[in-house]
Amino acid sequence: MNRAERLARLLRVLAAVIAEPGLNPLELAERAGVSERTLRRDLAQLRDLGYEVAYTSGYEVQEKLNLDGRARRRPRGRGDDALLQAVAHAVETAGLWRDTEHLEAMPARRSKPRRSGHAPIVLLPSGDEDADFMHASGFSVETGLYIRYGEKDDVLVVSPLEIDRARAQSRVSKIVEDPETYVNRSWARLAARMLHEKGISEARVSSKLPAGHLEDLRLNGIDAWVDRELFVAERRHKSSQQAAAIQQAQKAAESAVVAVVRELAQAQIRDGILWSNGGPLTSERLYARAQLTLGEQGFTCPEMIIASSPESALPHYRGEGPIKANAPVIIDIFPTSRGNHYNGDLTRTVVVGDVSDEIRRMHAAVVQALDAGIESIAPGVPGKEPHLNVCQVLVDRGYGTSTEGFEGPEGVARMNHSTGHGVGLEVHEEPSLRDKVDDLLQEGDVLTVEPGLYLLGLGGVRVEDTGMVTGNGFKNFTALTRSLDPQDYL
Is the four-CA dihedral 376, 451, 286, 273 of positive or negative sign?
negative
**Quick check: is 98 in a domain?**
no
Q: What is the average per-residue pLDDT within 408-421?
A: 96
Q: Of 166, 198, 230, which residue sits at a domain end?
A: 230
Q: What is the pLDDT of residue 105?
A: 39
Q: Is 442 buried (19+), middle (13-18) or exposed (0-12) by CB count in 10 A?
A: middle
Q: For position 205, which CATH number holds?
A: 3.40.350.10
Residue 146: CB atoms within 10 A of its CB come to 26
Q: Do 289 and 368 sit in the same domain of this protein?
A: yes
- 57 pLDDT band, cuts 50/70/90, is low
Domain boundary among 198, 230, 262: 230
Residue 273: which domain range?
Answer: 240-489
Give pLDDT tens digits for 189-229. Answer: 999 999 999 999 999 999 999 999 999 999 999 999 999 99
Instruction: Judge if 299 and 351 occupy the same domain.
Output: yes
At 73 the pLDDT is: 41
Q: Are residues 148 and 184 in the same domain?
A: yes
HSE value, Cβ hemisphere, 13 Å, CA-based, for 383: 22
Query: Which of the four pLDDT bands, split at 50, 70 and 90, describes residue 28?
Result: confident
Write the secondary structure of 384-446 as one string of H (helix), E (strand) and C (coil): HHHHHHHHHHHHHCCCEECCCCCCCCCCCCEECCCCEEECCCCCCEEEEECCCCCCECCCCCE
Q: Is the residue at 152 inside a domain?
A: yes
The predicted pLDDT at position 104 comes to 39
Q: Residue 115: inside a domain, yes or no? A: no
* pLDDT at res. 117: 56
Query: What is the pTM for the complete model shown?
Result: 0.76
Q: Distances from the Cα of 242 to the Cαs of 71, 271, 432, in angstroms? A: 61, 47, 19
Per-residue pLDDT for 175 more than 60? yes
Rounded distance between C-alpha atoms, residue 343 and residue 333, angstroms: 10
| pLDDT exceeds 70 at position 66 | no
The mean per-residue pLDDT over the stretch 171-184 comes to 95
Q: Determine which helix (DSSP H) or strand (DSSP E) holds 346, and give its type and residue range.
A: strand 346-351
290-311 average pLDDT score? 98
Q: Are residues 328 and 464 in the same domain?
A: yes
Please say if the pLDDT value at position 86 is more than 90.
no
Per-residue model confidence (pLDDT) at position 282: 98
- Could you tell me if 456 and 427 lie in one domain? yes
Amino acid letter for position 331? I
In the sheet that 202-205 helps form, which strands lie side by side, from edge to edge?
A: 174-177, 153-158, 145-150, 121-123, 202-205, 223-226
User: 134 and 276 in one domain?
Assistant: no
> Does 112 reside within a domain?
no
- Give the whole-angstrom CA distance, residue 436 versus residue 375: 19
CA dihedral defined by 425, 428, 432, 434, rounded to 10 degrees? 170
Q: Are 191 and 222 in contact (CB under 8 A)?
A: yes
Domain with residue 348: its CATH number is 3.90.230.10
Domain harbouring 9, CATH code: 1.10.10.10
Weakest mean pLDDT among 53-67, 142-156, 364-378, 472-486: 53-67
CA separation for the pair 339, 245 (Å, rounded):
10
- pLDDT given at position 366: 98
Is the pLDDT at 109 greater than 70? The verdict is no
Measured in whole angstroms, the distance separating CA 439 from the mean position of its chain's CA atoms is 19
Higher pLDDT, 407 or 56: 407
Which of 75, 93, 111 is at the close of a domain?
93
Residue 235 lies inside a defined structural domain of this protein: no
> How far separated are the first and last CA of the chain, in Å rounded?
71
Q: For residue 35, give the nearest of 214, 188, 190 by alpha carbon.
A: 214
Is there a domain that residue 111 lies in?
A: no
- The answer to which of 82-86, 313-317, 456-460 has the lowest mean pLDDT is 82-86
Our measurement of the distance from residue 313's CA atom to the centroid of its chain's CA atoms, rounded to an integer in Å, reads 24
Are residues 185 and 303 both part of a single domain? Answer: no
Instruction: Domain count for the chain, please give it.
Output: 3
Residues 128 and 50 in one domain: no
pLDDT of residue 1: 57
**Position 105 in a domain:** no
- Does a structural domain hold residue 100? no
CA angle 157, 159, 161 (to 5 degrees): 140
Residue 277 CB partners (closer than 8 Å, separation 6+): none
Domain co-membership, 182 together with 35: no
Q: What is the 3-state secondary structure (H, E, C) of 168-216?
A: HHCCCCEEEECHHHHHHCCHHHHHHHHHHHCCCCEEEECCCCCHHHHHH
pLDDT of residue 471: 95
Q: What is the pLDDT of residue 61?
A: 61
pLDDT tens track for 114-156: 454 589 999 999 999 999 999 999 999 999 999 999 999 999 9
Strand order in the sheet with 414-415: 400-401, 414-415, 452-455, 459-462
Q: Give strand pairing partners of 440.
A: 382
Do both 439 and 384 map to the same domain?
yes
DSSP notation for 49-112:
TT--EEESSSEEE-S---TT-S--SSPPPHHHHHHHHHHHHHHHHTT----TTTSPPPPPPPPP
Please state whether beta strands 268-270 and 273-276 pair in parallel, antiparallel, or not at all (unpaired).
antiparallel
Query: With 70 as the cut, is the pLDDT of residue 54 above it?
Result: no
Q: What percent of the chain is modeled with pLDDT above 90?
A: 76
Task: Answer yes or no: do 274 and 411 share one domain.
Answer: yes
Regarding whether 175 and 81 lie in a shared domain, the answer is: no
